[in-house]
């Protein structure tokens, strides 16, 4: 099962989540929606707020385990060009989870840009392809 979860305060990360979900034939949900069961691929997104990811996203990550989620691919938005993926990956690693090395990030203000949306969709399709190999 492929799942998409995100935390988004002002809609930028949500816009990327929607592009990813549409590309992989899944639905994007806020992290308040628990995962439905054993997950083959989880696309997990967040953003940077005052140099940190949201506490709610950290809490969600604490519910994950390597056993219940086979593969996690991270995406993020931020004001700075580096995104938040490194911060999210660090929290996953604390749980003993090694996320997919590749990640997608963009500047928040560009998240609804058509080109960026296409890049996010392409990223998601490539992760799906890699998972099949
Ligand atoms: C209160 C607040 C604090 C922020 N702090 C940072 C920050 O420390 N570093 C950064 O790169 N971007 C920062 N940003 C920019 C957000 O990461 C960026 O707008 C992001 O796309 C927001 O995602 P969202 O629309 O999904 O909530 C901040 C934004 C807000 C509203």
The 10s digit of each residue's pLDDT in 54-105 is 999 999 999 999 888 889 999 999 999 888 999 999 999 999 999 999 999 9
Which mutation among 31, 49, 106 tests ligand 1's pocket best, with the greatest number of atoms within 8 A of CB? 49
Q: Which of 39, 31, 34, 37 is nearest to 14 (CA)?
A: 31
What's residue 83's pLDDT?
85
Q: How far is the CA of 42 from the centre of ligand 1 (A)?
A: 23
CB of 10 closer than 6 angstroms to any ligand 1 atom: yes
Consecutive H or E run containing 105: strand 104-107
Q: How far is the CA of 131 from the centre of ligand 1 (A)?
A: 31
> Considering the domain 2-132 in this protein, what is its CATH number?
3.40.50.360
Ligand 1: which atom is nearest the Cα of residue 15?
Answer: 26
What's residue 92's pLDDT?
97
Q: How far is the CA of 13 from the centre of ligand 1 (A)?
A: 10
Residue with CA nearest ligand 1 atom 21: 108
What's residue 82's pLDDT?
85
Alpha carbon distance 16, 117 (integer Å): 6
């Amino acid at each position: 099962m492929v799942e998409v979860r995100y935390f988004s305060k002002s809609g930028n990360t949500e816009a990327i989540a929607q592009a990813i979900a549409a590309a992989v034939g899944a639905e994007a949900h806020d992290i308040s929606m628990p995962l439905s069961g054993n997950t083959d691929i989880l696309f997990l997104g967040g953003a940077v707020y005052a140099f940190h990811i949201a506490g709610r996203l950290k809490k969600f990550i604490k519910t994950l385990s390597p056993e219940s989620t086979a593969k996690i691919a991270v995406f993020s938005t931020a004001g700075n060009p580096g995104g938040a993926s490194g911060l999210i990956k660090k929290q996953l690693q604390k749980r003993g989870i090694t996320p997919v090395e590749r990640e997608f990030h963009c500047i928040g203000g560009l998240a609804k840009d058509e080109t960026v949306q296409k890049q996010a969709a392409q990223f998601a399709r490539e992760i799906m392809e890699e998972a099949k190999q």
